[in-house]
Amino acid sequence: MAIVIGYVIAFIGVYLALLLSIDKPKNKKYKVWGIALMVPISPALAFAIGLTYAVSVGSGWAGLIMWYIFPFIFTVGLVMLLVGIFKKEKTEIV
């Protein structure tokens, strides 16, 4: 049951990020998706993937793969957030 809860939390995070980023400029989308990846998605997804792998392999120690998945997804979210903060929008001269 805990595995399903992890996937549900990650899915809700993706759904909310999608709703918050519709019809927004690219900078806002990068910020929203960066925060969404760092806060709700990466811990829940790492937890769910780690437990799923541990159950499929049959070893509780295999669940420690979440210690490798979480920093990777968190770093991707941090990079997206920083791109959204520091990237300049192109202005059109009319």
Which has more confidence, 76 or 87?
76
Give pLDDT, residue 57.
93
CA distance 7 to 61: 20
Which helix (H) or strand (E) covers residue 80, if one does?
A: helix 66-86
Show me where the domains of the chain are located.
2-86
- Number of residues that this document lists for the chain: 94
Confidence of residue 72 (pLDDT cuts 50, 70, 90): very high
Which has more confidence, 87 or 75?
75
Indicate whether 30 pLDDT > 80: yes
Tokens of 91: 């202005």
Confidence of residue 1 (pLDDT cuts 50, 70, 90): confident
